[in-house]
Amino acid sequence: DGSELVEANNYVRANQIEPSKEMEGIAEGRNLIVVTLESLQSFAINSEMNGQTITPFLNSLTEDEDTIYFENFYHQTGLGKTSDSEFLLENSLYPLSGGAVFFTHSGNTFNSMAESLGNNGYSTNVQHANTKSFWNRDIMYESMNIDKFYDIESFEIGEGEAVNWGMKDIPFAEQSVEHMTEMQQPFYSRLLTLTNHHPFTLDEEDKLIDEYDSNSGTLNRYFQTSRYLDESIKVLFEDLKEQGLYENSIIVMYGDHYGISENHNEAMSQYLDEEVTDFTSAELQKVPFFVHIPGYGEGYVDDEVGGQIDMRPTIMNLMGIDTSKDIQFGSDLFSEEHEEFVVFRDGRFVTDEVVYAGNVCYDKDTSEPTEQDLCAPYIEQAFTELEYSESIINGDLLRFYDEEDGQLTTIPDVELKQ
């Protein structure tokens, strides 16, 4: 019942922190471009495969003066894969344990980032060259108040421009920027890439590096499709500059989930040159998170431990939009007060000191099991947090929340003490 909202709200308020003053509004009024880097894991960034660079363009961004790159950032998705990452991004709520929330709760009331930006004068859209009903996106995007969905019908796929799941990322990047030239500014445009998706197949001409040489064809090809994805991001940046959209935009990019599952542990251990333990597997859930602000000038690599749940509060603070009255489970990564505690959808968690996986508490420095006591206090918090988020979704509780004044509205059968 609605009393769960009261409890969840109390929990969120008790854990609320002050966003960074320094970063507040740094991108206010600019266009916001968010790119989902399909299946890209952090192990590919600033690394080589048999002497070949996997992501040269993204690597250059990690050293770029206008980019903050988060190297200890984890995905928190479950069965809903890409769609779960979109859900985390838009709502700063956890996805569900039992299925894709895009399918199970698409009729709910949400307070998405898109809706909030829309209320602040932004036109909002998603661009993705796939069938609109995939992951039930067409329905869910309406619930999240996204103005427009540029689905496969909005793209022209010429000869040789499709591979694997559909349109290749390079022509997709080009046409996405063309669409942006027609959008009402300021806009919030979200791009979902697709080529770096299992089974990671490419046309010969798009293979910019060799395959790897393990017993896993999947991992072997993954390096090549990651390399191709990287190239498409370079094209995206070039085209934004060419169209004069670059300077007045902020570009945020994140990896949505792992591309290489635990079925490929043997091949991964060959690549990493170490045994893949439960500890390693948890650490492999790191995905890249880039915040690129043209003209910023003070870029650096940030080692703050964070997760996808933090994207909404972090971005909204950059856009100068107050989220202190929103129900969010994440917080601003740039804030001094940000807590280094990331809960995975399956209950594993990571702090700056420990990793909890397979019911074992690992010391991050040694990668070895350590005293369970060091993890114990977090085990309950992880559970509580997932529970509160889940109860909000299952009860469609944001129906009873007034976003504007941040107050609980009348909840049947509950007496509100405020």
Q: Which residues bind ligand GP9 (CB under 6 A)?
A: 81-82, 130, 134, 192, 194, 197
57-96 residues in contact with Mn ion (CB under 5 A) are 81-82
In one-letter notation, the amino acid at residue 126 is V
Which of these is catalytic: 82, 277, 280, 323? 82
Neighbours of 323 (CB within 10 A): 24
Active site residue 82: yes
For residue 194, the minimal CB distance to ligand GP9 (Å) is 6
In one-letter notation, the amino acid at residue 42 is S
Complex with Mn ion: residue 30 or 81, whichever CB lies closer: 81
Complex with ligand GP9: residue 69 or 172, whichever CB lies closer: 172
Complex with ligand GP9: residue 55 or 127, whichever CB lies closer: 127
Complex with ligand GP9: residue 87 or 122, whichever CB lies closer: 87
Under rule CB under 5 A, residue 225 binds Mn ion: no
Contact present, 75 and 307 (Cβ < 8 Å): yes
Contact present, 36 and 82 (Cβ < 8 Å): yes
* Among 301, 327, 315, 339, CA closest to 388: 327
For residue 87, the minimal CB distance to ligand GP9 (Å) is 11
- Per DSSP bridges, beta strands 73-74 and 123-127 are unpaired
Complex with ligand GP9: residue 186 or 259, whichever CB lies closer: 259
For residue 333, the minimal CB distance to ligand GP9 (Å) is 24
Q: Which region, judged by CB under 5 A, interacts with Mn ion, from 30-38, 50-58, 363-371, 377-385?
A: 30-38
Contact present, 43 and 286 (Cβ < 8 Å): yes
The phi and psi torsions of 90 (rounded to 5 degrees) equal: -75, -35
Complex with ligand GP9: residue 134 or 296, whichever CB lies closer: 134
Under rule CB under 5 A, residue 256 binds Mn ion: yes
Q: Which region, judged by CB under 5 A, interacts with Mn ion, from 219-227, 253-261, 347-355, 406-414?
A: 253-261
Complex with ligand GP9: residue 167 or 327, whichever CB lies closer: 167
For residue 126, the minimal CB distance to ligand GP9 (Å) is 11
Name the residues that contact Mn ion, by CB under 5 A: 38, 81-82, 256
Catalytic residues: 82
